[in-house]
Amino acid sequence: MISALSPLDLDEVLRYMGCPAEKADPETRALVETCAREMEAAARPRWTGRVLDITLEEDGVRLEGGLLLPGQDLRKHLEGCERAAVFCATLSAQADALIRRWESRDMLRALALDCCATAGVEQVCDQVEQEIESQFPGCSFPFRFSPGYGDLPLELQGEILHLLDAPRKIGLCASASHILTPRKSVTAILGIARGEIQQTVRSCLSCPARESCQYRKSGGHCGIS
């Protein structure tokens, strides 16, 4: 169970802000540290998930119970897996409220808080992965994959939340435009394979900052994968 947000990695927050840690000036780092402490205090992380049998089909991945996750990217990603953990996680409405509070007063502070929350929800997902993996000793796990990555459609958000009973269990919903609310939330699929599989690495495809990444805009790369 995850009841609080652990101390955030400040270098990771700076990366989401498009500022390499080694180039951050003292003022920026101090702002990030202050915002990180505020976000740690405000966030109320929660998650829920299910482990389901999966079948790889021509058009995608079929979950036990019937839901098809369409597309070839996830299908290829889960080759060798017989089950998958489908889960969602959120920092809850308190994180969103803290960011909104500063959007009309100080946009730089609001940006730093937003990036703290992005780093925070990814940290929660890492902890969820560890908890799931501990239940399956001897198994292998490709990195988690979310709607909106590759050709896995964002339109699946609502169906995944319904599958997990997330609105009731953790207060996580999806809007008509398939945006998760609270906003600092994630849905994900984590493959589970018996024995060893060929491991892939995280790339820009699976990075939550890929659309706003300053490294990509300048033709560079952050170097984490």
CATH of residue 101's domain is: 3.40.109.40
Residue type, 15: R
What whole-number distance in Å separates Cα of residue 163 and Cα of residue 127?
21
What whole-number distance in Å separates Cα of residue 209 and Cα of residue 81?
27
Q: What is the pLDDT of residues 72-104, one digit of tens each?
A: 999 999 999 999 999 999 999 999 999 999 999
Q: Is the pLDDT of residue 195 over 70?
A: yes
Mean pLDDT computed over 130-155: 94
Indicate left, alpha or beta for 220 from its phi (over 0: left) and psi (-120 to 50: alpha).
beta
Contact indicator for 115, 13 with CB cutoff of 8 Å: yes
Mean pLDDT computed over 120-149: 95
Q: Is the pLDDT of residue 32 over 80?
A: yes
Contact indicator for 160, 146 with CB cutoff of 8 Å: no
Asked if the structure places residue 156 within a domain, the reply is yes
What are the CA-CA distances from residue 128 to residues 40, 92, 124, 132, 188 (Å)? 17, 16, 6, 6, 11
Q: What's the chain's length in residues?
A: 225
Contact indicator for 68, 60 with CB cutoff of 8 Å: yes
Q: Which residues contact 141 (CB under 8 A, 6 or more apart)?
A: 129, 132, 133, 190, 191, 192, 193
Asked if the structure places residue 44 within a domain, the reply is yes
How many domains does the chain contain in total? 1
Q: What is the pLDDT of residue 213?
A: 55
Average pLDDT value for the chain: 90
Asked if the structure places residue 1 within a domain, the reply is no
Contact indicator for 189, 84 with CB cutoff of 8 Å: yes
Asked if the structure places residue 159 within a domain, the reply is yes
Q: What is the pLDDT of residue 2?
A: 86
Asked if the structure places residue 110 within a domain, the reply is yes
Asked if the structure places residue 223 within a domain, the reply is no
Q: What is the pLDDT of residue 220?
A: 42
Q: Are strands 180-181 and 173-174 parallel, antiparallel or unpaired?
A: antiparallel
Mean pLDDT computed over 166-183: 97
Asked if the structure places residue 224 within a domain, the reply is no
Q: Sorting pLDDT into bands at 50, 70 and 90, what band is 225? A: very low
Residue 76's domain spans which residues?
A: 10-206
What whole-number distance in Å separates Cα of residue 135 and Cα of residue 133?
5
Q: Is the pLDDT of residue 67 over 80?
A: yes
Q: What is the pLDDT of residue 201?
A: 54
Above pLDDT 70, what percent of the chain? 88
Asked if the structure places residue 217 within a domain, the reply is no
Q: Sorting pLDDT into bands at 50, 70 and 90, what band is 224? A: very low
Q: Sorting pLDDT into bands at 50, 70 and 90, what band is 198? A: low
Q: Is the pLDDT of residue 205 over 60?
A: no
Between 76-80, 113-117, 161-165, 202-206, the lowest mean confidence (pLDDT) is in: 202-206
Q: What is the pLDDT of residue 3?
A: 82
What whole-number distance in Å separates Cα of residue 48 and Cα of residue 1?
10
Q: What is the pLDDT of residues 144-165, one digit of tens each?
A: 999 998 899 999 999 999 999 9
User: What global pTM score does this model have?
Assistant: 0.87
Tokens of 65: 């119970």
**What letter would DSSP give residue 1?**
-
